[in-house]
C-alpha cells in the first residue's frame, strides 16, 4: 500500500494510476493551472511548478518507487546526495525514516550500523599496521576503505543517472519551466547572463559530483601504493588528485557566490524606481 499520496492528489489520480493515465492527468492539470490562464500571479506559478514536479517524479518509474516508499524526504536524499549540507541530510533522513515500515527501518538501521563498524575498523587497522602488530600489505589494510569507496561510487553513479535529463511525450525536457512571460523576456542583459550561468552550473553538477568522487578515490589509491612502495613519486604527486579536488570545490563556491551577488545586484537594479 502506498503511504505517500500527496503527489497523486496533486495530479488528481489514484496511486495505482498507469503511465498513460498520468499523461492524461498532466495534460488536464496543465490546462487548468497554467499561469498564463490565471493572471501569471506568483501563487499560480507556484501551483503549476508544484504540479509539474509531482508529474516529473511520478512519470519516472525509479523516482516513483522511491517516493512511494519514503516520500519527498527520501527523494531529497537520493537526488541531493553529495550536494546537501549535513543538517539537510539529517533532516531528510529522519523524515524518510519516520515514513518507512518496520522491516525497511530494520534494514536501513542495520546497514548504517555496518557502515559505522567499517568506518571504525579503518583507523584500527592503520594503527595496527603502523605499530607493526600485523605485517599485512597496505593494500590489504585499506580493504575497508575500498568497501566504503565502492558504496560511495555506486551511490554517486545512481545520483548522476537519476539527474540525467529526460524528454516527455511532447519532446520537452522533463522538469523544464513553463514558457517565459512577457516580463521575464524583458529582464536585463545582466540577469539573463546570470541565469544562463546558473543553468550551466546546474547541468554540470552531476558530472562534477562523479568527478569529485573519482578524485577522492584516486587519492586513496595513490596513498596506499605510496605506503606500499609500489610507486616512486613525491608526496605532492600522490596528493595531486586531492589538491585538484580542493581547487574544484573552491572554484565552485566562488562561482556560486558570484552568481548570487550578480543576481541580487540585477534584482536591485530592476526594482529601482525611475525618476
Which residues are CB-neighbours of 149 under 8 A, at least 6 positions away?
A: 217, 220
pLDDT tens digits, 92-112: 666 666 666 667 678 878 888
For the cut 90, the answer to whether the pLDDT of residue 237 exceeds it is yes
pLDDT at residue number 10 = 87
**Separation of alpha carbons 210 and 227, rounded Å:** 26
Do 235 and 227 meet the contact criterion of CB atoms below 8 Å apart? no
pLDDT at residue number 41 = 81
Q: SS3 string of the chain?
A: CCCCCHHHHHHCCCCCCCHHHHHHHHHHHHHHHCHHHCCCCHHHHHHHHHHHHHHHHHHCHHHHHHHHHHHHHHHHHHHCCCCCCHHHHHHHHHHHHHCCCHHHHHHHHHHHHHHHHHHHHHHHHHHHHHCCCCCCCHHHHCHHHHHHHHHHHHHHHHHHHHCCCCECCCCCECCCCCCCCHHHHCCCHHHHHHHHHHHHHHHHHHHHHHHHHHHHHHHHHHHHHHHHCCCCCCHHHHCHHHHHHHHHHHHHHHHHHHHHHHHHHHHHHHHCCCC
Out of 149-153, 163-167, 226-230, least confident range: 163-167
- 5-83, CATH topology level: Helix Hairpins (1.10.287)
**Separation of alpha carbons 271 and 268, rounded Å:** 5
Tell me the CA distances in angstroms from 52 to 4, 11, 178, 201, one per residue in order.
17, 9, 9, 22
For the cut 60, the answer to whether the pLDDT of residue 247 exceeds it is yes
pLDDT at residue number 208 = 78
CB atoms within 10 A of CB 67: 25
Which residues are CB-neighbours of 228 under 8 A, at least 6 positions away?
A: 137, 138, 139
Q: Tell me the domain boundaries of the chain.
A: 5-83, 143-166+181-274
For the cut 80, the answer to whether the pLDDT of residue 262 exceeds it is yes
pLDDT tens digits, 108-163: 788 888 888 888 998 999 899 988 898 888 988 999 888 888 888 888 787 667 65
pLDDT tens digits, 2-35: 667 888 988 888 888 898 999 999 999 888 888 8
For the cut 50, the answer to whether the pLDDT of residue 61 exceeds it is yes
pLDDT at residue number 128 = 92
pLDDT tens digits, 171-224: 444 444 444 444 444 444 444 555 555 555 555 666 778 888 899 999 999 999
pLDDT at residue number 241 = 93
pLDDT at residue number 202 = 53
For the cut 70, the answer to whether the pLDDT of residue 242 exceeds it is yes
Amino acid at each position: 500500500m502506498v503511504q505517500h499520496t500527496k503527489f497523486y492528489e496533486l495530479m488528481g489520480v489514484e496511486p495505482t494510476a498507469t503511465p498513460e493515465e498520468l499523461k492524461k492527468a498532466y495534460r488536464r492539470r496543465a490546462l487548468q493551472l497554467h499561469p498564463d490562464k490565471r493572471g501569471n500571479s506568483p501563487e499560480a506559478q507556484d501551483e503549476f511548478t508544484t504540479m509539474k514536479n509531482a508529474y516529473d517524479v511520478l512519470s519516472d518509474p525509479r523516482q516513483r518507487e522511491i517516493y512511494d516508499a519514503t516520500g519527498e524526504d527520501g527523494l531529497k536524499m537520493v537526488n541531493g546526495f553529495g550536494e546537501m549540507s549535513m543538517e539537510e541530510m539529517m533532516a531528510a533522513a529522519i523524515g524518510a525514516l519516520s515514513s518507512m515500515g518496520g522491516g525497511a527501518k530494520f534494514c536501513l538501521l542495520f546497514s548504517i550500523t555496518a557502515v559505522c563498524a567499517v568506518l571504525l575498523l579503518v583507523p584500527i587497522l592503520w594503527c595496527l599496521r603502523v605499530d607493526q602488530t600485523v605485517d599485512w600489505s597496505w593494500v590489504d589494510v585499506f580493504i575497508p576503505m575500498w568497501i566504503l569507496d565502492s558504496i560511495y561510487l555506486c551511490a554517486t553513479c545512481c545520483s548522476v543517472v537519476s539527474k540525467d535529463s529526460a524528454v516527455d511525450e511532447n519532446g520537452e525536457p522533463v522538469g523544464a519551466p513553463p514558457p517565459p512571460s512577457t516580463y521575464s523576456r524583458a529582464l536585463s542583459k545582466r540577469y539573463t547572463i546570470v541565469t544562463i550561468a546558473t543553468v550551466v552550473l546546474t547541468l554540470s553538477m552531476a558530472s562534477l559530483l562523479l568527478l569529485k568522487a573519482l578524485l577522492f578515490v584516486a587519492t586513496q589509491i595513490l596513498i596506499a601504493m605510496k605506503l606500499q612502495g609500489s610507486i616512486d613519486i613525491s608526496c605532492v604527486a600522490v596528493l595531486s588528485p586531492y589538491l585538484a579536488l580542493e581547487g574544484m570545490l573552491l572554484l565552485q563556491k566562488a562561482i556560486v557566490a558570484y552568481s548570487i551577488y550578480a543576481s541580487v545586484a540585477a534584482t536591485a537594479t530592476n526594482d529601482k524606481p525611475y525618476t
